[in-house]
Amino acid sequence: MIQIESVTKRYPDGTTAVDDLSLDIPDGSITVLVGPSGCGKTTTLRMVNRMVEPTSGRILLDGSDITEQPVNALRRSMGYVIQNAGLFQHRTIVDNIATVPRMLGWDRRKARERARELMGRVGLDEALAKRYPYQLSGGQQQRVGVARALAADPPVLLMDEPFSAVDPIVRKSLQAELLRIQQELGKTIVFVTHDIDEAIRIGDMIAVMRTGGRLAQFAPPQELLSSPADEFVEDFLGTDRGIRRLSFFTSDGLALERGPVVAVDAGAEQVARATAAGAPYLLLTDADGKPLGWVAPQDAAGGADKVAVGSLLPYGRPFAAGRESLRDALDCAVLSPTGWAVAVDEQGAVAGVVSQEAIGAAIRSAHAGQREDGPAVPVRTTKAEVAT
């Protein structure tokens, strides 16, 4: 555990970067420091590996003051990833990754072997091993940066806006990759970002900091969204925190309807039975049960096999029943031209359909359940999937 105890950083010119900050960073999870620029989040991170020395207060690592061990030994026990990766442009990818193991005295072959293993782990093709950084895309360079930080298997990983400089699509895949790696390795990660969406997506705990280096709130993301400590946090979370909070409720509890679902070869009798279920539209599926599209009941009255597939209303993006959150389900329903969301199972076959009204009811009961039981049970196990 990293304990930050009443740490203050004041510069000679009088500016206070961090003001009396206390924070217990739990082991084996991702703690995100988030806030507007000038809130001292990066300074806080850099005090953990002593790139910046605090003016007062102290930082403990597993109970002992970080100033007790030699500074370079401390730094080598903490992986460090920064914006633009900061790769050594004069070294090959494999040698970049092998840097810290080499410094720790590993022989060259073992260090390179380890580097190649890590390339696989962060999703880099081993064929890139002998390339130089300029030959890689920004996203690939950032992956190298992560691999380099992990090379000596440090218990702690410090990440300073690592994904800020890449485009949103690459950023999303890097975030998903980080969550996947974290599931395998269980490092203690301190992650700095100014992007609240990123914080909510990857953080187990989020420390919101405000200008002047003060802590505004330290809480798990779902608690942050449901009960922001003050107006500043509320503003910082943005106007759609209600919607975003739905990411933390599973779609397990949705009552999926099978009634309006008919196979493409269904006859007039089956269509009549489906119509009797009372839904305004019927969902046609192919022979494997995969969705084809919506049709109004009167247009299919003569049998689903008479309907031209090209005339169907698009079903939009289906959501994975149970595995995706209420937010995904609601999103599907909002985007669907019929107002109904399509749920699919793992094979992509239709598990059922659900109306906006039913999703609304599920949201209300989830909120009510949370009020009774305290903070919602987070959808932790699916976090990596949610991010993908």
Partner 1 sequence: MSGPGFFDIPSDLQNSYLGLVGLHVEEALIPVAIGLAVALPLGQLCVRFSWLYPPVLWITTVLYAIPSLAFFIFLIDYTGATRTTVMIPLTVYSLVLLVPAFVDGVRSVPQETLSAAKAMGFGPVQRYLKVQLPIAVPAIIAGLRVAVASSISLVSIGALIGNQGALGNLLQDAILYHRSNLALNSVLTTAVLAVLLDIALVLLRMALTPWMPRSGRAARRAARDAAVEPAGRAALEDASV
Token pair 């209420």: residue: 326
**158 touching partner 1, by CB under 8 A:** yes
Interatomic CA distance for residues 312 and 18, integer angstroms: 59
Q: Locate 175 and state its tokens.
A: 């975030």
CB of 294 to partner 1, least distance (A): 48
Let me know: does 105 contact 145? Beta carbons within 8 Å: no
Q: How many CB atoms lie within 10 A of CB 65?
A: 12
Q: Indicate the residue among 52 and 277 with the shorter CB distance to partner 1.
A: 52
CB of 304 to partner 1, least distance (A): 55
Task: Give the residue among 215, 202, 236, 188 at the shortest CA–CA distance from 383.
Answer: 202
> Coil, strand, or helix at residue 33?
strand
Q: How far, CA to CA in Å, does 96 sit from each of 72, 115, 118, 137, 149? A: 18, 8, 12, 16, 10
Q: How far apart are the first and last CA of the chain?
A: 29
Q: Which stretch binds partner 1 (CB under 8 A): 28-36, 81-89, 200-208, 223-231?
A: 81-89
Of 83-142, binders to partner 1 (CB under 8 A) are 83-92, 99-100, 103, 132-135
Q: Locate 134 and state its tokens.
A: 């300029």
Amino acid at 241: R
CB of 186 to partner 1, least distance (A): 22
Interatomic CA distance for residues 87 and 96, integer angstroms: 7
Helix (H) / strand (E) containing 173:
helix 168-185
Q: Indicate the residue among 136 and 304 with the shorter CB distance to partner 1.
A: 136
Q: Indicate the residue among 103 and 170 with the shorter CB distance to partner 1.
A: 103
Output helix, strand, coil percentages for the chain, rounded to the nearest 5: 40, 25, 35
Q: Indicate the residue among 149 and 233 with the shorter CB distance to partner 1.
A: 149
> Coil, strand, or helix at residue 205?
strand
Of 175-234, binders to partner 1 (CB under 8 A) are none
CB of 188 to partner 1, least distance (A): 16
Q: Indicate the residue among 157 and 300 with the shorter CB distance to partner 1.
A: 157
Task: Give the residue among 300, 287, 282 at the shortest CA–CA distance from 353.
Answer: 282
CB of 142 to partner 1, least distance (A): 12
Q: Indicate the residue among 99 and 247 with the shorter CB distance to partner 1.
A: 99
**311 touching partner 1, by CB under 8 A:** no
Helix (H) / strand (E) containing 80:
strand 78-82
Q: Indicate the residue among 39 and 87 with the shorter CB distance to partner 1.
A: 87
Q: Indicate the residue among 84 and 173 with the shorter CB distance to partner 1.
A: 84
Q: Locate 83 and state its tokens.
A: 């914006």
CB of 46 to partner 1, least distance (A): 8
CB of 156 to partner 1, least distance (A): 12
Of 47-76, binders to partner 1 (CB under 8 A) are 49, 51, 71-73, 75-76
- The footprint of partner 1 on this chain (CB under 8 A) covers a number of residues equal to 30
User: Residues 191, 196, 199, 201: is their CA dihedral positive or negative?
Assistant: negative
CB of 132 to partner 1, least distance (A): 4
Token pair 């922001």: residue: 228
Q: Indicate the residue among 49 and 247 with the shorter CB distance to partner 1.
A: 49
Selected from 47, 61, 78, 344, the binder of partner 1 by CB under 8 A is 78
Q: What track of x and - describes contact with partner 1 for positions 1 through 40 (by CB under 8 A)?
A: ----------------------------------------
Task: Give the residue among 380, 8, 17, 46 at the shortest CA–CA distance from 205.
Answer: 380
Binding footprint of partner 1 on the chain (CB under 8 A):
49, 51, 71-73, 75-76, 78, 80, 82-92, 99-100, 103, 132-135, 145, 148, 158
